[in-house]
Amino acid sequence: MKTSKLGLDFEKVDAARAAASEIAASVMDFAAKRTTTSVERATLRMMGVEGADAEGVHWVNRVVDSPTGRDLLAHGLSVPFADAVARTGMDASETARAVAAGSVEMAMPSGEALEHAVAAAEDLAADSFRRIRTQRSRRQESLAELGEGERPLLYVIVATGNIFEDVDQARVAAKAGAQVIAVIRSTAQSLLDYIPEGPTTEGFGGTFATQANFRIMRDALDEVSREEGRYIRLCNYASGLCMPEMSCLGAMERLDVMLNDALYGILFRNINMQRTLTDQRFARLAAAAGGFIINTGEDNYLTTADAAKSEHTVLASDLINEQIALRCGLQPEQLGLGHAMQMNPWSEDMFLKEVAMAQLVREVFPGCPIKYMPPTKYMTGNIFRGHVQDALFNMAAVMTDQGIHLLGMMTEAMHTPHIHDRYLALESGAMIRQAARHLGDEIEFKEGGIVRGYAAEVLENTCALLEQIRREGLFDAISRGVFADVRRHMDSGRGLDGVALRADDYRNPVESMLSLMAGVKGE
């Protein structure tokens, strides 16, 4: 029998999860009938296409945007591209350049040539899959050998704009106790419909996410992991208009955590919902194959909506995200489902309600690491008050056994944190984690009290919301502003022109290989 410090009615939890499962099934059925330019680009990358043109645009973009690329999008490009490789005798990258130049055209083969092309596509992707398996094994071996320290894992960001300066800051943070290093992307990279090529040294509010930058930071964190005697996890983004490609690159370069949310790009970046959810299906197959943790973005909802009134939307979205992820082969231990401490610090019993929400999320998702985001909405630039707010947040995280703890910075709302800001945040997080290590084990919440009452109210509202979304559909719910008080519509937003309904003869052997590796049946 399940036990609960909150006295939860687990029949209601089961009902909420069942409604979320139906919602997720509908969304995944919708996505499985479509493809996108970014799905096809990710497929070509997995088949070995490398390099970029003189303008820095990757060859996969040029292939997809070529006349035959656009004509064949609905049929899938992996098979006609593999056929072109076989016909020309060139390798994948050379063939991509020739297709981009117009000297080679792609065409969908038929009959025996079709079966040969499918086999050729699988052969072209074999090296990428071997690389992903090797990277998974290296992660598992490193964690077994070095461990990663106590949870919640202390998670900090670097965001200089220069990958080499990021490395310096990451090393300092790791030596100060950080267990997860997140490289923040340059502002608005999620809206770029291509991934820059090579190492980058100029960014805006962050550093461009590129395959080379992933590799540079991974190598640096492997080195500092050996020095510190504990494995340091690397985090970046699998979101935006290049979500599937980012996820594949993350799997190949051994990222350990990637931000990947069902709704964030729709709500906060105005990316078309058809594009985002179709892209996400492929991206999560790659995440499952790569074995990394995904962080979801519900923690951001309460930056635009009132936490006291909208906590149930966070839990509802967590449940939908969970069910979508499970359908893509992700395991519970890979689900860093998001929530945040965003109540007004001057509101009465705010801390009790925040603890109630954190404990509720913990109990609803017992097998997941859970990502807890610090206060940002009510940070004012008063660094002393901010440090106190972050300390309360640190205490709530330890009390409720959170898995991934995104540390707050006292200089939030002022500037990108300096190294010494991160040091103070790490010191506070580590001190409170040590001082209150077993506090959660000692606490029970009284029946009829504030904590249990607030958690029960949030769960009740979550059940009602999910039942409503189950009836109307997720797309309509988003359109009326259910999440984050932001309205988006089915046919609005960026990237819709990159979505295509799959033709009857659509083939994607790479997707099938990802599904097999992710343990997803029927793909």
With contact defined as beta carbons under 8 Å apart, do 250 and 289 qualify? no
Q: How much is the average pLDDT of 468-492?
A: 96
Q: 3-state DSSP helix/strand/coil percent for the chain, to nearest 5?
A: 60, 10, 35
What is residue 18's predicted lDDT score, i.e. its pLDDT? 98
**Active site residues per annotation:** 264, 299, 371
Q: For position 499, what pLDDT does the model report? A: 98
Q: Which tens digits make up the pLDDT trace of 179-224?
A: 999 999 999 999 999 999 999 999 999 999 999 999 999 999 999 9
- Evaluate whether 375 touches 413 at the Cβ level (below 8 Å): no
Asked if residue 34 has pLDDT above 80, the reply is: yes
How far is 239 from 258, CA to CA, in rounded Å?
A: 9
pLDDT at 239: 95
pLDDT of 347 over the 70 cut: yes
Q: What is the mean pLDDT of residues 360-365?
A: 98
Q: What is the per-residue pLDDT across 386-442, written as a single tens digit (0 to 9) for each?
A: 999 999 999 999 999 999 999 999 998 888 888 889 999 999 999 999 999 999 999
pLDDT at 50 over 90: yes
Q: What would the pLDDT profile of 292-343 be if each residue is shown by its tens digit?
A: 999 999 999 999 999 989 999 999 999 999 999 999 999 999 999 999 999 9
- Residue 24's pLDDT is what? 98
What rounded mean pLDDT belongs to the chain? Answer: 96
> b vs e for 12-42, b when ≥16 Cβ sit within 10 Å of the residue's Cβ?
ebebbbebbbebbeebbebbbebbbbbbbbb
pLDDT for the residue 1: 59
Residue 127: exposed, middle, or buried by beta-carbon count in 10 A (0-12, 13-18, 19+)? middle
**Residue-wise pLDDT tens digits, 246-264:** 999 999 999 999 999 989 9
- CA distances in angstroms from 184 to 213, 217, 235, 288, 297, listed in the order given: 12, 12, 9, 22, 14
Mean pLDDT of 464-487: 96
